[in-house]
Chains A and B, each alone.
Chain A
């Protein structure tokens, strides 16, 4: 009986150890927060457009094609690093790329886009960060893929790298 009982804590301890090693070995970032908006409709919001003279109404805008929504700012260094991939997405026929300019100066954004190239079909202004809160954004850059039915299919927090670029392309192929 005693011998059998001793096995219990050993088994539990081994399980805990295995769990720790498993979590250490898999590729994951514990500071990454899972998005609560996946498989949900895009949030309702209205916004001014940077280069077009009209008010963007989200309830009317996400109903016809796959859209990549990218939160960016000129003061954010990783946004500059990922810009090359945003430009690549803009060249693809299957998707429309929208930028949401987070807490930034209009003047600086126009210059930034002029210098680096403007991949966005529309640049929306989020002056006080309220739109970002509606999208559950906790740090920029963040990128979302929205299906042609207006459902959020994917969220990436952080800059787009070559690996993420490939991953997003795969997701776009799947939902197309």
Chain B
């Protein structure tokens, strides 16, 4: 019984994933050259849909996401490098359009604060334990 439920759940999950892929990228968008298509998909997965904000343009159905996907594909066909495409997009929409924030001076806090908090936590635990041991 449990096994059957598990199989049904896995099937639903897989159907959901495959359907998601099929309705975001439309057939007329797909490039003939597989290598170029793969490059475009990889870039699209790293670009935030500025309309939906929590999705990449690869997953989003928003018209602007489609426009950006087509633009990326056209840029690839014209011979632009990945770096040039990212620059083109961030020049217009800022770093916000990148799903992964870039590592630079203004984002140092974002990258390092979790580690700082982690170290503070460890130090706190360390001193706390030391004190308890002494007390015992």
Contact present for B50 and A128 (CB under 8 Å):
no
**A-B pairs with CB below 8 Å: how many?**
52
Shortest distance between the CB of A11 and any CB in chain B (Å): 11
Q: Nearest B residue to A30 by beta-carbon distance?
A: B53
Contact present for A138 and B127 (CB under 8 Å):
no
Q: How far is the CA of A103 from the CA of B93 in the complex (A)?
A: 20
Q: How far is the CA of A36 from the CA of B131 in the complex (A)?
A: 52
Q: What count of chain A residues pass the 8 Å CB interface test?
A: 23
Contact present for B94 and A5 (CB under 8 Å):
no
Q: What count of chain B residues pass the 8 Å CB interface test?
A: 20
> In the complex, which residues of chain A have a beta carbon less than 8 angstroms from the beta carbon of B68?
133
**A-facing residues in B81-126 (Cβ within 8 Å):** 90-94, 96, 117, 120, 124
Nearest 8 Cβ contacts at the A-B interface? A36-B94, A138-B50, A136-B92, A2-B131, A129-B67, A136-B93, A33-B96, A5-B127
Residues of chain B touching chain A, judged by Cβ–Cβ distance below 8 Å, are: 50-51, 53, 63-64, 67-68, 71, 90-94, 96, 117, 120, 124, 127-128, 131
Instruction: Beyond A43-B92, A136-B94, list 9 extra A-B contacts (CB 8 Å).
Output: A1-B131, A2-B128, A5-B128, A9-B120, A33-B50, A36-B93, A37-B92, A128-B67, A138-B93
